[in-house]
Each structure stands twice: as structure tokens, then as C-alpha cells.
Structure 1
Amino acid sequence: MITTSPTEFLEAFAALAPLPGAAATARAAYLVAPAGFALAAESARDNRYMDMSLAVDPLKALAQHGALAQALRADVPVITFPGDPATPDAVFPNNVFATAPGRLIVGRMRHPVRQREAERADIRAFFGDVLGYDEIDLSGCDDLVAELTGSLIIDRSRGVGYCGLSERCDMAGAQAMLKAFELRLMFCFELAEGEYHTNVVLTLLASRAAIIAADGFRDPAAAQAIADACGGRALWISPAQKQAFAGNAIALSDERVWMSACAAASLTETQLATLGDYGFAVGTVELGEIEKAGGSLRCCVGEIY
């Protein structure tokens, strides 16, 4: 079921029982290392978090990425695939590849520079030949745009998706992802003008709390409905904190939320205490060089379910 009505969503959500045995967090994670890291002008056309005037240091980006992989291993096993110089900004694989139990989903990216990432045979082979996952390939669907867990935030323990519509995901893409992830309920809403991905304005933490940037939603009622679905356990962040990527976080365990050092530094002591009240310590990694490409920690992390 897909709904665009906050009221209808909350009514349907209230009727859902938890999925027996469904894990709220991933069992492993994968990353794609930067290789010849550079900013893509195509992506900058609809990503206001990018600044093409900034110079980037490829070696610094590589070092920060390596530190990220090492840090995340405190919570889950982490696999890092080598970067490809042909796609020098391909450090955000969660938009291109995503998983559900037993399935690899390949997304349909908007920009050609990102579409090339979906052609990687080694990543497909790892999930198909090594893990034995079935492949659901949306990359060749010319009639939709679906940038996977950039646009779609999933409550894994309930089979519920929160899909922000923008140039990076249309309604046809939302419908395709509903089927690919086998979700029971999807709430679709329009992102605010200038927002490109939902995972910059919304984070779900182990299916029990959320980080929400209200100004990232075209309709404030949509943001409030998500907070209500979390039982009011929502950390509301300001526009400046959103710009610092405080909304681009991820929980890979029930006890910790990971975000960039810039994101964590933007939070107040009260906000950090609120996350603690929700049961989450904050883990941080310096990602300033990678953030020049318009994404942060959560964008770098592909989840393996």
C-alpha cells in the first residue's frame, strides 16, 4: 500500500503488527572507496549541498574513507569495494545498490554519471554468486527514477518505507521500490524545494526513533506524521544542522548512531542527551573532504540485510 496522506498513513501504520524476526539494523555493511576522488558537475545540478568551487584532496578523502570503514567495524562486519577511476565521485553506493533479506536491488539513477555505477559486475557478483542473493534490477527502467536508500528510508522491523519524492525519485520509482523491498506500507511525500534525497532530512534509528529536519519536507504534516509513528521519539534538527549533515546518520546497532564529526559538532548538549535517552551513543568520523561531494556518512554506507 502506498499513501500520500499523513492521516491515512498513521491509520494504516497503527494497524500493522511488527514483522516476526525482522531485524531493525543491518548484519553487515559495504562501502566503495574513492579512487581519484572528484566532484561531478552533473550531480551538482540538483544537489545544493555540493560546491563545485571547492578543491578536493583525493588522498585525504581516501584516508577519511578508510577511517570510516575501520570505525564502523565496531558494530558490524564491513566490506570495502575498490573505487573506479571512471566514476571518481562514486563513494555513495547506497543510492545504487541496496539489500533486503535474500535480495539485491539495483537502483535507477537520475544522472548518467551515477548510472555507470550500477554496471559494476563485481558488486553484483558478490551479492549474487557469493551471498546467493536474487537480483532485482531497476537500472534499465527508463520510465522511472529510484535512488534507493537515498530517497527511501525503511523501518525494517515493520516493513514500512518513507519515500521523499524529488528529481531523484518519482512515484513510479516509489512503486517499483515498494515491490522490490517487499514493503507492507509506504508513505510518499514531497521533499522541500531544493532537497534531493530523503536521507539528508530523515534518519530512522533502529526502528525506534528518528532524526528529522522539518524544513526538508514540503508539507510539515508529513514530518510530524513520521515523528508520531515513532511514538514522539524524534530529534528535530535546525536548517543549519541539516546543512552540517546531522540528518545523514545511520544506526548499525541498537545502541549507537554514526554521523560525521561535522554533524555531531552541530548538535547541542540537549540534543545529544536526547539521543542518549533514546538509547543511542554517538559515534563520529571526520568526513570533511567527502562531504564536499554533497553527502555524508550515511550516504557512504550500504547495508547488508
Structure 2
Amino acid sequence: MVMQTSSNILMVRPANFGYNEETAANNFYQQQDQRTSLEIRDLARKEFDGFVSLLRDQGVNVEVVEDTENPVKTDAVFPNNWFSTHPNGKLILYPMFSPNRRLERRKDLIELLMKKGYQIDEIIDLSFFENDGQYLEGTGSMVFDHDSKSIFACYSVRTHPFPLNYVGQLLGYEVVGFHAVQEINGQSSPIYHTNVMMHIGRDLAVVCLDSIPKASEKQQVQKALTKAGKKVIPITPKQKFSFAGNMLEVSNDGGEKFTVMSQTALDSLNIGQIQLIEKYTTIISPSIPTIEKLGGGSARCMMAEIFLPRMSK
């Protein structure tokens, strides 16, 4: 059986972290900052290093990869968007909306995984979808429930139905596609990434159901999660804006489970929500305000799970 959580996580230490004009067009979580690029980079690195330490302190194996100075990649700290790995030895490369984010796809990073003893039998490159303006940004666009073989995804300019269904067929997973929106300056806009409003762990699902306007789609999502045996924790749109949907469940070699969310996300939750999460897992909450503010992404986006088998010695 495929496990929902991994004890091996890949994270990319930023070299040129900063505000990305291209992605800001539809990522309304990004905010500009007046500090110098050097100050911002140093703060981002400090937050990154602190985050890695928290995970390692709990026995989670973190493979840290240094970002390359050139070409400049402001969002390299969010590797979950450009690839995913699977227990059958497959590694999938995804089509990215922003041209400057396509530079994040690194062959040397894949080779590094193999050098560290992870078995990659097949690389499936879906970047050809970019030629037709079709995008699917990895586990930002898709929230996997490996236990029930389901993919949850809200459609947006970064998540198109065709590549989404393609991945579903590739993995033999059922696709639960829906529309989700948020109010920005009084205007209703599609939520650009599913992992902004939804998290699925082994026993829990955290989801902003209020962001799904169509009753039939809301019901479909709820039904699929309940059928998969998940305890659903609803969050409010306000909590979603504090990255409360951007969580990831990880484990350590001892089988302990942890729900990773930023301090911002944790601060937005109420006592009941926290107690429910802690009933099943231990919370790890790094403080990453600079990365959240300028990058518009949070804790989950910084972690790419490694589900690959280990090479036999």
C-alpha cells in the first residue's frame, strides 16, 4: 500500500529568494518589500535553516539541496511545484505557468537523488504541455490522497483539466476536480493552487469548504474525503489567507506522524482545530514570515516528498 506520508523530504535552500512579478499576477498572497535583495535573501535563508532544524529534531530526514546562483530563480525554495516522486520509481516533471519558474527544473537535482540512493526508474516529463498553454504545478495544483488513490484539484490558470486527467490516468488515481474562489479587493478570483485551501493527511483533511461556491462540487469533495475515511476539519477563508490550508503531514523512521504548518497558520487556528490535529499528529510550526510574504507560499510548498524506493545495495 502506498503511504500517505513520507519520512524523506527534499528542500531547496534559496540563493536568490525574492518577489516574482510573473507569479504575482495570480498569486495574491505575495507582497512587495522595501528591504534590499541581500537582506531578503539572508532572512529567507535563516528561516529556511530554522525550518530544516525543526524537522530534523523530530527525526524527519531532510535532503537539503543548495539553489544555484545562476540562473536567478526567486521561487526555487518551493520545489513541490515542478516535480513529484512515486513509490514505483517514477519521477514526474510538471508544466509551469511562469516562464522564469521553469528554470527550477534541474537535472542535477534529480541526479543528486540517485547519488543519495533513491531509485528512479522512469522520468515522465510533462513540460510539453507548456507549448499549448496548459499547466499543472505539481503538488501545488494537486493534493494527493495516496491511500484512496485520489487527486483533489481546483481548476485555475495554473491547473488545467487536460494535464490533470493525464496524471490521473498515469497513476491510476481518480480525479476530484472542482472550482474554488477567494475574494480579493471585493472581486471573486480563482484560487491558484489547491494546496492553499486543502491538506490531506493519513486520518485528517483540512479544507476551506467555504471557498467552493458550487454546492454540488462542495458536496463531491466532502463525500470523497469522508469515503476515504478522513476526519474533515473545515477552515474559514480568513484562516486560509493565513496559510492554514498549506499543511503537510510527514513522518519519521519511528513512524511518528507530524503535521507541518507555519507559525502564521498555527496562530490562525482555534483551540478545537488544534486539539483535533494533535489527536492524530504532533504539530511542527516553523516561523517563515519573509518567505510567506514575498513568495506567497508557506510550509507545505517548501517540502517535496520523496516516495522513491531505496536502491538495493
Structure 1 distance, partners of 2:128, 2:225, is 35
Kindly state the Cα deviation for residue 288 of structure 1 after the two structures are TM-superposed.
0.4
**Deviation at 1:54?**
5.5
1:9 aligned residue: none
- Give the Cα separation in 2 of the matches to 1:270 and 1:297: 22
What amino acid does structure 2 have at the position aligned with 1:100? Answer: H
1:217 is matched with 212
Task: Kindly indicate whether the alpha-carbon contact (under 8 Å) linking 1:37 and 1:88 is maintained by their aligned counterparts in 2.
Answer: yes
Which amino acid counterpart does residue 164 of structure 1 have in structure 2? Answer: C
Q: Note if contact 1:148-1:177 (Cα within 8 Å) is conserved in structure 2.
A: no
Deviations 1:212-243 (A, max 9, x none): 11233342443443333333611111111111
- Equivalent residue number for residue 14 of structure 1: none
Identity across the alignment (%): 28
- The answer for the alignment partner of 2:288 in structure 1 is 287
* CA distance in 1 between partners of 2:114 and 2:155 (Å): 30
Q: Show CA shifts across 1:147-205 (max 9, x none).
A: 1100111111121111221011101120222134x133111112222411000000001
Structure 2 stretches of 5 or more lacking a match?
A: 182-188, 308-313
Deviation of residue 256 (structure 1)? 2.0
Matches within 5 A, 1:103-252: 103-118=90-105, 120-127=106-113, 130-133=117-120, 134-141=122-129, 142-143=131-132, 144-180=134-170, 182-192=171-181, 193-206=189-202, 208-231=203-226, 233-252=231-250
2-structure distance, mates of 1:88, 1:40: 6
- 2:45 aligned residue (50, 62, 78): 62
Q: Structure 1 CA distance, aligned partners of 2:110 and 2:128?
A: 15
Q: In the alignment, what sits opposite 1:263? A: 265
TM-score (norm 1): 0.86
CA contact (8 A) 1:32 1:81 kept: yes
Displaced runs of 4 or more, over 6 A: none
1:49 paired with 2:29, answer: yes
Bigger mean CA offset, 60-69 vs 225-234: 225-234
2:71 matches 1:94: no
Question: Which shows bigger deviation, 38-47 or 268-277?
Answer: 268-277
Change over 3 Å in CA distance of 1:224–1:75 after alignment to 2: farther
Cα deviations by residue, 1:109-143 (Å, 9 ceiling, x for unpaired): 0110111112x121121345652311111123323
Contact in 2 for aligned 1:31/1:81 (Cα 8 Å): yes
Please give the per-residue CA displacement for 1:84-110, whole angstroms capped at 9, x wherever unaligned: 331122111001011111111111001
Q: Secondary structure at the match of 1:140?
A: helix
Superposition deviation, residue 23 in structure 1: 1.1
Alpha-carbon distance in structure 2 between the residues aligned to 1:107 and 1:228:
28
1:23-42 aligned at under 5 Å gives the runs 23-42=3-22
The count of residues paired between Structure 1 and Structure 2 equals: 281
Coordinate RMSD, CA, aligned: 1.8
